[in-house]
Every structure is written in C-alpha cells, then in structure tokens.
Amino acid sequence: MKEDNMKIYLGADHAGFTLKEKVKKYFDKNKIDYVDMSKKKVDSDDYPDVAFKLGERVSAEKVKGILFCGSGSGVAIAVNKVKGIRAASAYDEETAKLSREHGDSNILTLSGWKTNSARAKKIVDVWLNTKFSNIERHKRRIKKIEEYENANV
C-alpha cells in the first residue's frame, strides 16, 4: 500500500473536511496509520492554521502529510512556508507521481471541491507508493531549494 509503515498526518479546513473523512475511511479499511490534525467539522475556519500545524509536524518528524481545502491551493501555499516542506497539489495520478519522483514532495494537497473520493483514493495511492527518483538533476534542484530556504529563514 505505501512505501513504509510511517504514519501519515491528515488535515483539512471546512471545505476539505468531507473529502478528508472519505480518505480516512479508505485508510482505515487498508490499515494505513494516520493522525488527523483537523478540528472537528466547523462551518468556517482558516486553512493556514491546520496547514502550519501539520507542516511543522511533517518537517520535524520527516514523515508525510495530506492536506485538504476547497481548491487544494490555499493549503499548499500556506504549508510551503514551513521550512523543510515540499507540498504539491495533485489533480490526477500523474501529477501525484511526478511530485514524488521529481520533487520528493512530502505533503500532498487535494481539492475538496474538485476531487471526488474515487479519484482522491487513486491519487493518494500513487503518491504514497511513488518513491523519489534519486536522479541527479532532481537531487540538484531540491538542493537548490533547500539552500535558498536555509539562506532566507
């Protein structure tokens, strides 16, 4: 199912909550360990709150996370401000795969408005099961990102 026995952190704002709950059921069925960092369902909240909280845990523990919001973009923008995070929004299996192979993404973001549960499960499966390619040009590019991030903290 996934490349190791690491737990996955999950988080959502109000607009991504329903899709996150469906992914949690899928994880339960497939015995994938996760920690839900979301508030209980609320009518409105601010996506940066859960994104920062989840991003800090993923960065500190060197694990993976999945964030959900209305567009998938809001949480991606917010969580990419956390040092050590390489979050990617995926809208299909190919973008999920490339985000892991080329960018070694450690957080996946999904749109609660535009991603149905069947597609989300496929995207998540591909993302969890794809390893970083370790191709030199991809390692070089990630190193440049890390160097910039470290120089500008």
Look up residue 132 and give its two tokens. Answer: 């970083």
Q: Taking phi first (over 0 means left), then psi (-120 to 50 degrees means alpha), and beta for anything else, what does residue 77 get?
A: alpha
Annotated catalytic residue: which of 39, 57, 97, 102?
102
Phi, psi of 82 (to 5 degrees): -80, 130
- The whole-angstrom separation of Cα 25 and Cα 27 is 5
Annotated catalytic residue: which of 19, 51, 54, 69?
69
69 catalytic per annotation? yes
72 catalytic per annotation? no
For the annotated catalytic residues, the residue numbers are: 69, 102
